[in-house]
Amino acid sequence: KIKPLTLKEQQLCVLESLPGIGPTLSKSLLKKFKTIKKIINASEESLQKVDKIGKIKAREIKKVIDSEFKEV
């Protein structure tokens, strides 16, 4: 029997799907911003204030969040 993911595990999983975000950074992001919604709405500058997220990583994250979906 497969145990369903807890809310915390689901939140971490969503964040870890972003480029360059692993378990440690996903926890740091949630610690600073509290919700996934606030992370998604954060500016590049705000994301850079999280330890180990520099200009390039913040730009990559915002690119994924802000890009429109295009079917192939």
Pinpoint the alpha helices (H) of the chain. 7-16, 23-33, 36-41, 44-48, 55-66
29 within 8 A of 50, measured Cβ to Cβ: yes
Q: State residue 63's pLDDT score.
A: 95
- The answer, as to whether pTM is greater than 0.95, is no
Mean pLDDT value of segment 7-25? 95
Q: Inform me whether the pLDDT recorded for 23 exceeds 90.
A: yes
Q: State residue 22's pLDDT score.
A: 96
Question: What percentage of the chain has pLDDT greater than the value 90?
Answer: 92
Q: State residue 1's pLDDT score.
A: 85
pLDDT band at residue 72 under the 50/70/90 scheme: confident
